[in-house]
C-alpha cells in the first residue's frame, strides 16, 4: 500500500469543495470526513509501515526525478501529528467559520494545505519535499490573506510569500546543486555523500529555506503578521504544519549537517530567534501575536536542540508543542469571537466566564510555562538538559522565565472582568458553539498525556549512529526549571492580575525598542525594500533612456534622410553644381 | 501514417480563406473552428507518437525552388513538436476567447489563422528557406495585428516592432546564405547542414553564429534588443499580446536551440551568452519593478523568462535544452493566460494601472483567480509546467557552468515579489472602491479554464513529453 494514499481523501475533498460550492454545509462536513479518513489511513500506515516506495516522475538525461515516500518512524511522527490535528482544526472551523459564502474557498485551501503537509511528512527525497514545501507556501499565502477585505490581511500575506520565496529559491538551488552533482535526490543516498565545500554551500542554502519557513531570524516577522488569517489557520500553521516543516527537514537531514559541521549556525540562529520571540511576546498586545512570538521561541528552541546535535530533545519539543499551541490558538479564537473580534489583550475581558475555555486554557498555559506533569515541561527541560554549554543553559533558563511571565500575562489580562456591564461579553462566551469547545477538550487531554505517549513514539525513532540521547532528566534540572516557572507566574500575577501595564515605552524608549524589536526588524525590511526599489528605479530610468536614445537614433536617421532628400531633388542645376564642385575638388587633389 | 503537417497547413489555409470570405459575425467562429481542428491534428500527432514511441514526422511535398532543391518538406522532433503543440493550443484559445470586445473580428480572425500557419510551418520546417519564409509570414501577420488592432498609439509600436524584426530577418537571411555557400554540399536542408557543419571553417561558423544569435536574440527578446516588446504589448490588442508573447517569442527560442546545432563552433560563446542571459534577467526584473501598466509588467516578465530560457539553451546539455523547451511550452500557456486576464481587466475597468484598480476578485472572480494562478505559473510553483522547466534549466546550468550561474534564479524572486505586490493592490483587495460586476463571456471562461488545465496538465504529467526527449 502506497503511503501517498493518505493525501487522496483531502485532495478529493478539495476538488469537491469547488464543485459543491453552492452548498457550504456539505463542504464542511465533507472536509471533516475526508480528514478522518486520512487519519484512519495514517493509523494504518503507522501500524503497518510500507517502507520506502517511489515511482519515477520523469527522467531527463539519466537524472531521475521521483515521487518517493518513506515510512520511517520520524516520518510517522509528523504524519500522525498532522493527521490528528487536521480533523480537530476542521471541527473547530465548523463553529468558527460562520460566513457560509466563504466556506468552500476556506475548505479547499485548508484541504490542500493539510495534504501538502502530509506529503511533506512522508517524503523520501528532496524533489517530493520541495513540491510539498512550495504547495505549503502557496496555500499559506492564500490562507493568510483569506480575509482580503481586511486592511492588513493582503499585506501580511504578501510579506509571508515574499519571505518564503527567498527561502524557496535558495532551497531550490541547494537541492539542484545536490542533485546535479550526486545524481540523486534521495535522503538515504545524500547521507553518504562526501563532505565538500560545494555540499556545504548547498546545505546552507537549504538551511536558509528552512529558516524562512520556520520563521527564524532574520526572516521571522512574517509569522507575527500572519495572524491576519482566520484563527483555525493560525492553530494549524503554528502547531503541526508550515513552521514545523523547516525543523522537520533539518531534523531528517541532521546527520549530514552534523558531519558538515554546520550545527553552530542553527544554534546561534536558534538562540537569537528564541530571544526575539520571548522579548516581543513580553511586550506585544495583540492576543494572537503573543502566541506567534511564542511559536518563534519554541521553534528557536528546537533549532537550539538541533544545533546541539540532540534531535531527541528537538523532536520531544516538536511533538508536545503541537498540542499546546493548537489548544492556545483555539482558545484565543474563541475569546476573540466572544469579544467582537477585538485583538488587543487590554480590550479583551472575561476569558474565565466560560468554564470550558478557562480550564483548557489553564492546561495549555501551564504546559507552555513548563509546569511539571504537563507535556511542555518534558519538551523544554529536555532541551535544557541537552545544552552542555553553560551560556546556552543560562539563556534557555532566561527564556523559560520570560515564557512563564508572558503567557500568564496573556492569561491574567484576558481574564479580567469587564467594567462595561452592558457589553454582551457574557452571553457571547456562553454561546460559543460546541464544535469549537470539543477540540479544545481533546487537545487538553492530548496535552496532558502527550509526554507520557512520547517515549513510545520515540522508541521507534533511530537517528543513526553518533546521536546522543540526552533525554535523561534529573531532579535538579526539573527543580531549577520549576522554580523559575513558578517565579515567573508570581511576577505575572503581581504585575498583571488587575490588568496593569508596565509603561515601558514612556519610561525608557531605548529599552522598549530593544525589547519590542519587531519594529526594528520591520524597519530593516523596509530599508531593504527601498534599496531594491532604488536599484529598480535606476534600472527603469536607464531602460527609459535607452529607449529614448534608440528613438533619437531613428529620428537622426530620418533627418539625415531629409538632408539628402533636399539635395537629391531632381533639379538638374543642383546636380550640375555638384558635378562641377566635385570635379574642382578632384583636380585640386591631383594638383596638391 | 497520416500527413499530419500537410493536413494542418491545409486546414489553416482553408481556414484563412474561409474567415476572409464569410461575413463579419461568423469569422470568429470560423477561426475557432479551424484553429480547433489544427489543435486536434496536433494532438493526433501526440497520440500517434505515444503509440509508436517516438516523435518522428517527415513529409515532403512539391518543389518550391527547383534550382536549389528546396521542397516544401517538413519534419518534427520532440523539441519542435512541443512548441508546435503549444502554439496550436494557444492559437485556438486566442481565436476562441481573446476578442470578447467583438472588435474587427474578421481582421483578427484572418490574422490569427495566418499567424498560426506561420507558426506551424516554422516549427515543422525541415529546411532553412521554409524556416525563413514562415518566419516572415508570422512577423508580417503580427505587424498587421499590431497596426490594425489595438489602442491609440499602436502604429508607433507596430513600426518599432517591424523595424526590429526586419533587422532580425535580415541577419537571418544573411546567415542562411552563408550557410548555403560554405556548406560543402550546398544545401538548405537542416539535417544536411547539421551533418556537414563541422566542415565549415571555424571563423565562418563564428560569423554565422553571431548573425543567427543576433536575429534570435532580437526575437526572444533579450537585452539589449528588448525594447520593442513592452511597447508592442502596451498597445496591442489582447489577441495580439497572446500571440506575440505566447508564440512569436518562441520562434527566437527555437531558433537559438537550432543555432547551436547548425554551427557547433558557437559553443565557444555559450559562456558569454549565459552571462548576457543572466544580466538580461536581472535587468528586466528590475525594470519590471518600475512599471504600473499591468500589460507592461507582464511583458517584462516575458523578458525575464526568455532570458532564463536563453540561459538554459546556453548551457548546451540535455538538461538545459530540454528544460528550455519545456519552459517555453509552459511560458506560452502562462503568459497567454495572464494576457487574457489582463485584457479582460482593461476592458472591464477601462484602466490597466494597478494602482487605480481595486478588488478585481470581487468584481470578477474568474479573472482574479486566473491572474493569481498566472503568477504562480510565472514564478514556477511546483505542479505548474514552469516548475519542470526551471528545475531542468538550472540543473543544466549547474552542470555546464558553476554555482554562480544559478544566481539569475533570484530574478524570478524580484519579479515574483513585485507581481505579488501588484496582485495585492489590484486583485486581492476591496478597499473603499465598489465596482460593477461585469459579465464575463462564456468563451472567455472556457479560455481561462483550458489554459489552466494545460498548465497543470503539463506540470503534473511532464513525463508524457519528457519521455520522448530521452529517446
Cα A272 to Cα A81, A267, A301, A523: the distances in Å are 27, 9, 10, 18
Cβ of B406 within 8 Å of Cβ of A536? The answer is no
**Would an 8 Å CB–CB cutoff place B414 in contact with chain A?**
yes
Q: Provide mean pLDDT across the span A235-255.
A: 87
Residue A477 lies inside a defined structural domain of this protein: yes
Residue of A nearest to B379 (CA): A165
Q: What is the pLDDT of residue B310?
A: 93
User: Cβ distance A52 to A68 under 8 Å?
Assistant: yes
**Would an 8 Å CB–CB cutoff place A155 in contact with chain B?**
yes
From chain B, the residues in CB contact with A184 under 8 A are none
Residue written as grid cell 489595438: B150
DSSP string, B388-436: HHHHHHHHHHHHHS-GGGGTTHHHHHHHHHHHHHHHHHHTS---S---P
Q: Provide mean pLDDT across the span B176-205.
A: 87
A131, A201, A532 ranked by CB distance to B383: nearest: A131
**Would an 8 Å CB–CB cutoff place B290 in contact with chain A?**
yes
**Would an 8 Å CB–CB cutoff place B153 in contact with chain A?**
no
pLDDT tens, residue by residue, A264-303: 899 999 999 999 999 888 888 888 888 899 999 999 999 9
Cell of residue A411, nine digits: 492569561
The verdict on A434 and A567 lying in the same domain is no
Q: How many CB pairs under 8 A join A and B?
A: 128
Residue A279 lies inside a defined structural domain of this protein: no
pLDDT tens, residue by residue, B423-437: 888 888 775 555 556
The verdict on A478 and A389 lying in the same domain is yes
User: Cβ distance B108 to B149 under 8 Å?
Assistant: yes
Cα B381 to Cα A9, A73, A90: the distances in Å are 23, 29, 26
User: Cβ distance B124 to B84 under 8 Å?
Assistant: yes
Which range has highest mean pLDDT (A15-29, A97-111, A165-179, B55-69)? A165-179
A-proximal residues of B, 364-403, CB under 8 Å: 376, 379, 381-383, 387-388, 390-392, 394-395, 398-399, 403
**Would an 8 Å CB–CB cutoff place A482 in contact with chain B?**
no
**Quick one: which H or E segment has residue B64?**
strand B57-65
Residue of B nearest to A162 (CA): B417
pLDDT tens, residue by residue, A298-322: 999 999 988 888 888 888 888 888 8
Cβ of B409 within 8 Å of Cβ of A173? The answer is yes
Residue written as grid cell 503497518: A48
- Which residue among A483, A516, A549 closes a domain? A516
**Would an 8 Å CB–CB cutoff place B286 in contact with chain A?**
yes
**Would an 8 Å CB–CB cutoff place A166 in contact with chain B?**
yes
The verdict on A482 and A379 lying in the same domain is yes
Nearest to residue B339, comparing CAs of B307, B397, B378, B306? B378
The verdict on A331 and A371 lying in the same domain is yes
Q: Mutate which of A163, A176, A205 to disrupt the B interface (most B C-beta within 10 Å)?
A: A176
Burial of A153 (0-12, 13-18, 19+ CB in 10 A): buried
Return the percentage of chain B with pLDDT > 70, whole number: 98
**Would an 8 Å CB–CB cutoff place A55 in contact with chain B?**
no
- Residue B407 distance to chain A (closest CA, Å): 9
A145, A148, A539 ranked by CB distance to B287: nearest: A539
Q: How far apart are CA B106 and CA B29, in angstroms?
A: 10
Q: Provide mean pLDDT across the span B347-369.
A: 82
Q: What is the pLDDT of residue B214?
A: 92
**Would an 8 Å CB–CB cutoff place B104 in contact with chain A?**
no
From chain B, the residues in CB contact with A135 under 8 A are 381-383
Residue B459 has pLDDT above 50, yes or no: yes
Query: Omega before A218 cis (within 30°)?
Result: yes
Q: How many CA atoms lie within 13 A of B64 on its CB side?
A: 13
Residue A380 lies inside a defined structural domain of this protein: yes
- Which residue among A516, A550, A579 closes a domain? A516
**Would an 8 Å CB–CB cutoff place B469 in contact with chain A?**
yes
**Would an 8 Å CB–CB cutoff place B404 in contact with chain A?**
no
Q: How far apart are CA A80 and CA A87, in angstroms?
A: 12
- Residues near A40 by Cβ (< 8 Å), separated by ≥ 6? none
Cα A153 to Cα A163, A359, B4, B328: the distances in Å are 15, 31, 53, 35
Residue B457 has pLDDT above 60, yes or no: yes
**Would an 8 Å CB–CB cutoff place B181 in contact with chain A?**
no
Return the percentage of chain A with pLDDT > 90, whole number: 15
The verdict on A367 and A497 lying in the same domain is yes
Backbone angles phi, psi at A285, to 5 degrees: -115, -10
B287, B420, B429 ranked by CB distance to A162: nearest: B420
- Residue B164 distance to chain A (closest CA, Å): 11
Residue A437 lies inside a defined structural domain of this protein: yes
What's the domain count of chain A? 2
Residue B83 has pLDDT above 80, yes or no: yes
- Residue A551 distance to chain B (closest CA, Å): 9
Residue A504 has pLDDT above 80, yes or no: no
The verdict on A504 and A556 lying in the same domain is no
Residue A491 lies inside a defined structural domain of this protein: yes
Q: How many CB atoms lie within 10 A of CB B275?
A: 16
Q: Provide mean pLDDT across the span A117-130.
A: 90
Residues of the domain holding A474? 290-516
Q: How many CB atoms lie within 10 A of CB A514?
A: 11
B-proximal residues of A, 542-581, CB under 8 Å: 542-543, 546-547, 550, 554
Cβ of B429 within 8 Å of Cβ of A181? The answer is no
Residue A388 lies inside a defined structural domain of this protein: yes
Residue A483 lies inside a defined structural domain of this protein: yes
Q: What is the pLDDT of residue A421?
A: 63
**Quick one: which H or E segment has residue B178?**
helix B154-182
Residue A90 lies inside a defined structural domain of this protein: no
3-state secondary structure of B129: helix
Backbone angles phi, psi at A66, to 5 degrees: -120, 155
pTM comes to 0.91
Residue of B nearest to A550 (CA): B227
Cβ of A172 within 8 Å of Cβ of B462? The answer is no
DSSP string, A311-351: HHHHHHHHHHHHHHHHHHHHHHHHHHHHTTT--BGGG---T
The pLDDT confidence band at residue A505, using thresholds 50, 70 and 90, is low
More confident call, A220 vs B103: A220
- Residues near B291 by Cβ (< 8 Å), separated by ≥ 6? A540, B230, B297, B300
The pLDDT confidence band at residue A465, using thresholds 50, 70 and 90, is very low
The verdict on A424 and A545 lying in the same domain is no
The verdict on A575 and A430 lying in the same domain is no
The verdict on A490 and A580 lying in the same domain is no
Q: How far apart are CA B17 and CA B7, in angstroms?
A: 15
**Would an 8 Å CB–CB cutoff place B453 in contact with chain A?**
no
The verdict on A302 and A392 lying in the same domain is yes
The verdict on A485 and A420 lying in the same domain is yes
Q: What is the pLDDT of residue B72?
A: 81
The verdict on A471 and A576 lying in the same domain is no
Q: How many CB atoms lie within 10 A of CB A98?
A: 10
- Residue A117 distance to chain B (closest CA, Å): 14
Amino acid at each position: 500500500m502506497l503511503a501517498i494514499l493518505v493525501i487522496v481523501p483531502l485532495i478529493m475533498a478539495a476538488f469537491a469543495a469547488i464543485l459543491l460550492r453552492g452548498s457550504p454545509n456539505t463542504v464542511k462536513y465533507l472536509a471533516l470526513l475526508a480528514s478522518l479518513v486520512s487519519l484512519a489511513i495514517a493509523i494504518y500506515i503507522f501500524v503497518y509501515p510500507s517502507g520506502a516506495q517511489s515511482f519515477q516522475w520523469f527522467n531527463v538525461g539519466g537524472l531521475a526525478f521521483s515521487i518517493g515516500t518513506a515510512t520511517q518512524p520520524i516520518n510517522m511522527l509528523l504524519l500522525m501529528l498532522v493527521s490528528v490535528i487536521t480533523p480537530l482544526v476542521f471541527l473547530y472551523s465548523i463553529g468558527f467559520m460562520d460566513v457560509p459564502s466563504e466556506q468552500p474557498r476556506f475548505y479547499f485551501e485548508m484541504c490542500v494545505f493539510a495534504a501538502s503537509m502530509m506529503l511533506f511528512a512522508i517524503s523520501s527525497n528532496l524533489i517530493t519535499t520541495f513540491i510539498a514545501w512550495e504547495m505549503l507556501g502557496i496555500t499559506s499565502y492564500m490562507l493568510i490573506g483569506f480575509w482580503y477585505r481586511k486592511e492588513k490581511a493582503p499585506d501580511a500575506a504578501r510579506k509571508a510569500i515574499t519571505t518564503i520565496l527567498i527561502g524557496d529559491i535558495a532551497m531550490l538551488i541547494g537541492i539542484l546543486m545536490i542533485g546535479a552533482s550526486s545524481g540523486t535526490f534521495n535522503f538515504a543516498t545524500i547521507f553518504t555523500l562526501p563532505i565538500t565545500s560545494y555540499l556545504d554551500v548547498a546545505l546552507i542554502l537549504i538551511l536558509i529555506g528552512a529558516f524562512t519557513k520556520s520563521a527564524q531570524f532574520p526572516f521571522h516577522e512574517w509569522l507575527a503578521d500572519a495572524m491576519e488569517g482566520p484563527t483555525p489557520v493560525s492553530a494549524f500553521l503554528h502547531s503541526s504544519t508550515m513552521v514545523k516543516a523547516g525543523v522537520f527537514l533539518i531534523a531528517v537531514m541532521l546527520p549530514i549537517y552534523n558531519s558538515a559541521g554546520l550545527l553552530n549556525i542553527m544554534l546561534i540562529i536558534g538562540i537569537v530567534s528564541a530571544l526575539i520571540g520571548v522579548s516581543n511576546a513580553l511586550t506585544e498586545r495583540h492576543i494572537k501575536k503573543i502566541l506567534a512570538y511564542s511559536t518563534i521561541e519554541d521553534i528557536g528552541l528546537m533549532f537550539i536542540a538541533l544545533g546541539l546535535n540532540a534531535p531527541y530533545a528537538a523532536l520531544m519539543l516538536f511533538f508536545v508543542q503541537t498540542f499546546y499551541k493548537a489548544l492556545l490558538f483555539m482558545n484565543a479564537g474563541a475569546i476573540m469571537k466572544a469579544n467582537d473580534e477585538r485583538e488587543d489583550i487590554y480590550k479583551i475581558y472575561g476569558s474565565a466566564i466560560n468554564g470550558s475555555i478557562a480550564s483548557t486554557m489553564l492546561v495549555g498555559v501551564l504546559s507552555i510555562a513548563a509546569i511539571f506533569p504537563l507535556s511542555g515541561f518534558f519538551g523544554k527541560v529536555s532541551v535544557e538538559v541537552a545544552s552542555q554549554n553553560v551560556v546556552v543553559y543560562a539563556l534557555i533558563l532566561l527564556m523559560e522565565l520570560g515564557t512563564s511571565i508572558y503567557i500568564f500575562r496573556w492569561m491574567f489580562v484576558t481574564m479580567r472582568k469587564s467594567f462595561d456591564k452592558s457589553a454582551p461579553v457574557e452571553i457571547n462566551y456562553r454561546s460559543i458553539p460546541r464544535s469549537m469547545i470539543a477540540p479544545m477538550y481533546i487537545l487538553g487531554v492530548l496535552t496532558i498525556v502527550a509526554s507520557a505517549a512520547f517515549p513510545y513514539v520515540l522508541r521507534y525513532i533511530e537517528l543513526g549512529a553518533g546521536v546522543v540521547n540526552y533525554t535523561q532528566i534529573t531532579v535538579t534540572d526539573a527543580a531549577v526549571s520549576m522554580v523559575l516557572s513558578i517565579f515567573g507566574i508570581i511576577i505575572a500575577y503581581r504585575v498583571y492580575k488587575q490588568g496593569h501595564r508596565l509603561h515601558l515605552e514612556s519610561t525608557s524608549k531605548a529599552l522598549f525598542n530593544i525589547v519590542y524589536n519587531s519594529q526594528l526588524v520591520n524597519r530593516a525590511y523596509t530599508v531593504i525594500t527601498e534599496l531594491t526599489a532604488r536599484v529598480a528605479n535606476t534600472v527603469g530610468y536607464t531602460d527609459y533612456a535607452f529607449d529614448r536614445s534608440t528613438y533619437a537614433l531613428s529620428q537622426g536617421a530620418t533627418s539625415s534622410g531629409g538632408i539628402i532628400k533636399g539635395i537629391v531633388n531632381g533639379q538638374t542645376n543642383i546636380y550640375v553644381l555638384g558635378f562641377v564642385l566635385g570635379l574642382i575638388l578632384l583636380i585640386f587633389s591631383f594638383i596638391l | 501514417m497520416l500527413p499530419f503537417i500537410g493536413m494542418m497547413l491545409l486546414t489553416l489555409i482553408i481556414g484563412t480563406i474561409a474567415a476572409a470570405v464569410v461575413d463579419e459575425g461568423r469569422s470568429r467562429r470560423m477561426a475557432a473552428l479551424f484553429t480547433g481542428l489544427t489543435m486536434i491534428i496536433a494532438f493526433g500527432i501526440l497520440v500517434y507518437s505515444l503509440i509508436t514511441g517516438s516523435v518522428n514526422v517527415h513529409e515532403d511535398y512539391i518543389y518550391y525552388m527547383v534550382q536549389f532543391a528546396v521542397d516544401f518538406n517538413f519534419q518534427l522532433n520532440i523539441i519542435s513538436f512541443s512548441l508546435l503543440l503549444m502554439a496550436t493550443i494557444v492559437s485556438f484559445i486566442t481565436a476562441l476567447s481573446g476578442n470578447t470586445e467583438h472588435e474587427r473580428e474578421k481582421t483578427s480572425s484572418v490574422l490569427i489563422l495566418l499567424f498560426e500557419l506561420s507558426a506551424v510551418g516554422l516549427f515543422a520546417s525541415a529546411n532553412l528557406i521554409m524556416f525563413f519564409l514562415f518566419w516572415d509570414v508570422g512577423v508580417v501577420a503580427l505587424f498587421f495585428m499590431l497596426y490594425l488592432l489595438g489602442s491609440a498609439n499602436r502604429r508607433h509600436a507596430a513600426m518599432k516592432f517591424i523595424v526590429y524584426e526586419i533587422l532580425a530577418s535580415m541577419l537571418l537571411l544573411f546567415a542562411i546564405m552563408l550557410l548555403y555557400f560554405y556548406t560543402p554540399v550546398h544545401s538548405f536542408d537542416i539535417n544536411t547542414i547539421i551533418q556537414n557543419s563541422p566542415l565549415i571553417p571555424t571563423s565562418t561558423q563564428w560569423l554565422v553564429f553571431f548573425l543567427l544569435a543576433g536575429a534570435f536574440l532580437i526575437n526572444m527578446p533579450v537585452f539589449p534588443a528588448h525594447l520593442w516588446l513592452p511597447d508592442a504589448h502596451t498597445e496591442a490588442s489582447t489577441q495580439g499580446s497572446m500571440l506575440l508573447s505566447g508564440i512569436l517569442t518562441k520562434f527566437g527560442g527555437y531558433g537559438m536551440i537550432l543555432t547551436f546545432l547548425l554551427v557547433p563552433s558557437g559553443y565557444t560563446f555559450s559562456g558569454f551568452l549565459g552571462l548576457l542571459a543572466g544580466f538580461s534577467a536581472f535587468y528586466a526584473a528590475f525594470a519590471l519593478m518600475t512599471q504600473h501598466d499591468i500589460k507592461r509588467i507582464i511583458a517584462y516578465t516575458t523578458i525575464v523568462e526568455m532570458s532564463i530560457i536563453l540561459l538554459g539553451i546556453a548551457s548546451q546539455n540535455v538538461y538545459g535544452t530540454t528544460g528550455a523547451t519545456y519552459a517555453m511550452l509552459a511560458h506560452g500557456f502562462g503568459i497567454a493566460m495572464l494576457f487574457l486576464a489582463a485584457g479582460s481587466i482593461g476592458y472591464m475597468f477601462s484602466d490597466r494601472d494597478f494602482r487605480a484598480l481595486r478588488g478585481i476578485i470581487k468584481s470578477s472572480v474568474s479573472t482574479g483567480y486566473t491572474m493569481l494562478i498566472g503568477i504562480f505559473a510565472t514564478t514556477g510553483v511546483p505542479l505548474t509546467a514552469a516548475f519542470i522547466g526551471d528545475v531542468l534549466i538550472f540543473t543544466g546550468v549547474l552542470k555546464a557552468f558553476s554555482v554562480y550561474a544559478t544566481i539569475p534564479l533570484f530574478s524570478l524572486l524580484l519579479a515574483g515579489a513585485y507581481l505579488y505586490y501588484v496582485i495585492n493592490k489590484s486583485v486581492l483587495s476591496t478597499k473603499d472602491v465598489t465596482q460593477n460586476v461585469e459579465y464575463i463571456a462564456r468563451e472567455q471562461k472556457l479560455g481561462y479554464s483550458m489554459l489552466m488545465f494545460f498548465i497543470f496538465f503539463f506540470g503534473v504529467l511532464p513525463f508524457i513529453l519528457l519521455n520522448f526527449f530521452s529517446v
